[in-house]
A and B are shown apart, each in its own frame.
Chain A
Amino acid sequence: MRTAGLVAGGVALALLAQGAAAEVTKVQEKGLKPYEIVDGHTIPKPLTDKPGDPKRGAKLVVTRKKGNCLACHKIQQLNDFPFHGNIGPELTDVASNLTEGEMRLRLVNPKVVNPDTIMPAFYRTEGLHRVMKKFQGKPVLTDQEIEDIIAFLKTLKASQ
């Protein structure tokens, strides 16, 4: 009865944080931890209490059935692994260009930033069409896996 959960729908609330002018959007999707999008471009708070592990993150970035970031992004630090795609921006220097929170939003749901993007939302269970049964109600990556990947991405800086 996993499908029943989809009917419940997510709760997305936009409210103004006290004091600051920041716009905070709370998101809670079925079976997933709640998170907050700030000003439509960042999720500053980690999804888990346990810090991400960059080594595990690197593995997830390479693994085809997991993050498979290499499908679309070139990462020169991972040149030992063949066939990097080129449809997304190169991530070799991503840590110089995006904050941790900006990376997190782009992994969790990049459609917030670009509604027409080809990039999957890696932490989403709702608003999807005809998901294969075995993937219904499940995100592409778990909260901890997202944090592991972010920990790895934070190490990516082009060498001078």
Chain B
Amino acid sequence: MFRKRYRMGGIALSALGTLVMAGVFTLGAGGASACEECKGKYEVDGKKSGYLYSTPATQAIQDDDFTNPGFLWVERGRQLWAKKEGEANKSCKDCHGEPEKLRGVFPTYPKFDPKTKKLINIEQRINRCRTEQMKAKAWKWESDELLSMTTLVGYVSRGMPVNVKVDGPAKPFFEKGKAFYFQRRGQLDMACKHCHIDFPGQYIRADLLSEGRAGGAFPLYRLKWQKLGSLHRRFRGCNKQVRAKPYKAGSDEYVNLELYVKWRSNGLPVEVPAVRR
């Protein structure tokens, strides 16, 4: 049922923005307007969010919580938050109370996980709650459920600065993520850095390159996808564009890369759910 509504939202957006507005109203999205705390913070210490590389039309969709289609996932997340599941018959709410209690959590992930001795990102942390506390099945990567919960957990930290730690036990994983960013790959033989460090603000064909400081924005609603998606889905898309074999979403490689990308975003506001072309 939800799936259907999402799809309808997407189609409506491509055809007629006003229809989607009506769709969101019926779901009663919370929050009156924009991320007030984000205003004026899309550039911090010379770092620019992808928001500033978006067209005014795309910014306007993000700026108004009633037109931002990402709020469908925030609302879906709130419903899942209270749903009891698994052998333990527990919901997120049973342990955490209201989702807003998790304000401040999202900006610190990925972080070193003493249990697995590697990094854990927010999606994986949500799934650990499910398997260990709720005794429920982990949600699949890019499923509506995992996207919705991740978006909700991001949303309650909106406006807070991204703040990942890259020293201490996280350091070797950060270094691996950084190496990934600078490693040429694929038939087109390009590294992340060639677009996002060397040429932000310039055009590849019709596309304006951003600084790739995506840490505060994902999961985000991408107009090209007509859907909300994860940062790892975006990584896969970038890798495929240079004709390289992508890694799996949730792989160690991408979680390490995520830490590096989020470190590049440190200080920029969480703007989940952001909207991009």
Contact = CB atoms under 8 A, between A and B. Distances in A.
Interface in B190-231: 190, 194-195, 198-199, 202-206, 209
Interface residues of A, number: 24
B199 A132 contact: no
B interface: dominant SS: loop
B189 A128 contact: yes
B205 A132 contact: no
A131 B204 contact: no
Contacts of A87: 198-199, 202-204, 209
Contact of B244 (A68, A72, A129): A129
A42 to B, nearest CB: 21
B203 to A, nearest CB: 5
A138 B183 CA distance: 20
Contacts of A120: 187-190
Contacts of B205: 64, 68, 70-71, 83-85
Contacts of A129: 183-186, 189, 244
Contacts of B137: none
B245 interface: yes
Interface in A104-137: 118, 120-121, 124, 128-133, 135
Contact of A131 (B183, B203, B243): B243
Say which size band chain B's interface belongs to: 20 to 34
B84 interface: no
Contacts of B189: 120-121, 124, 128-129
B240 interface: yes
A84 B198 CA distance: 18
Contacts of B198: 87, 118
A19 interface: no
Contact of B186 (A64, A83, A130): A130
Interface in A74-90: 82-87
Contact of B199 (A70, A118, A124): A118
13 contacts: A70-B205, A86-B202, A86-B203, A87-B198, A118-B199, A124-B189, A128-B189, A130-B244, A130-B245, A131-B187, A131-B245, A132-B240, A135-B187
Q: Which 10 A-B pairs have the closest CB atoms?
A: A83-B206, A118-B194, A135-B187, A120-B188, A130-B245, A71-B205, A87-B199, A129-B185, A87-B202, A85-B203
